Amino acid sequence: MSGKIIISSSLQKRVEAIVQELRIQSSDFRIEENNLPSHPDLLYIQDEEKLGVEKTKEIRKFLTTKPFQSDKKVLIIESAENLTIDAQNSLLKLLEEPPGESIILLGVDSEQSLLPTILSRCQIEYLLDTPKTSFKYAQKIEELPSKTLEERFEFIEKLTEREVFLDEMLRFYRLKMHQDPGLSGWVKELLKASEYKKGRVTIRLILEYLMFQLPKES
């Protein structure tokens, strides 16, 4: 099971990010613009006032049945801050003991709205209204596509915080993808490259590889 939490005070931005994340994780769902499709393997819980244990029972029943048309079942809760504490504990059990191959995407207004145990079981993405103010290398990331390959390699050679830069590249292009869905392939490449960190490949080699793959300047 793949669980991810997307955090933003803006419901619209959360939904847009959820749609983009689903595009990345599965190609089985035909998504037009930012509209989530009606699909037998997708349970989409919209901005409801309160979500209790009865709703999580419905979720469990949905996730434990086999997919009809795709290889995964997908659960989306766009406003997980509406989950009661009991409902969150019930959802936590699903995250700890997944019933099958599933994708769980939760949108929430603040990390304080969810139990720490749920946060620890999922990937977390923060949506930032002004990304440049919280990205140390935002300007450099924007400039690199216009640089020559030699200039890119020179920058990587001098860079001291290579892992920070790699993480920021991924976050930066995830945000940019909300305005340009055509970047989804590049984001997948960055995700794959980030996984190499867990092996024996050095961060420098990963970054040098990515310098060859940078998307063209828009």
Quick: pLDDT tens for 162-179: 998 998 888 888 777 766
Mean pLDDT over each residue of the chain, to the nearest integer: 85
Mean pLDDT of 6-27: 86
The pLDDT value given to residue 188 = 86
The pLDDT value given to residue 148 = 94
Smallest CA-to-CA distance from 118 within 58, 72, 56 is with: 56
Answer whether residue 45 is part of any domain. Answer: yes
Same domain, 105 and 205: no
Query: Domain end: 69, 102, 126, which one?
Result: 126
Distance CA 76, CA 43 (A): 6
Neighbouring C-beta atoms of residue 94, cutoff 10 Å: 20
> Per residue in 41-59, pLDDT tens?
899 998 777 899 999 999 9
Query: Domain end: 106, 126, 146, which one?
Result: 126
Range of the domain at 180: 131-213
Domain count, the chain: 2
- For the entire predicted model, the pTM comes to 0.60
Mean pLDDT of 105-133: 77
Give the helix/strand (H/E) hosting 166: helix 162-177
Comparing 32 with 162, which gets the higher pLDDT? Answer: 162
The pLDDT value given to residue 170 = 85
Q: Give the rounded percent of residues in the chain with a pLDDT score beyond 90.
A: 35
Query: Domain end: 104, 126, 148, which one?
Result: 126
Mean pLDDT of 119-132: 71
The pLDDT value given to residue 109 = 85
Q: Work out the pLDDT band at 32, boundaries 50, 70, 90.
A: low
Surface-to-core class of residue 59, CB atoms within 10 Å of its CB (0-12 exposed, 13-18 middle, 19+ buried): buried
Question: Any idea which of 26-40, 141-155, 194-208 has the lowest mean pLDDT?
Answer: 26-40
Distance CA 154, CA 38 (A): 49
Q: Is the pLDDT of residue 99 over 80?
A: no
* CA 148, 190, 182, 138 torsion-angle sign: negative
Same domain, 53 and 151: no
- Going across the sheet that includes 42-45, the strands are 42-45, 73-77, 102-108, 2-7, 123-126
Give the helix/strand (H/E) hosting 88: helix 85-96
Answer whether residue 91 is part of any domain. Answer: yes
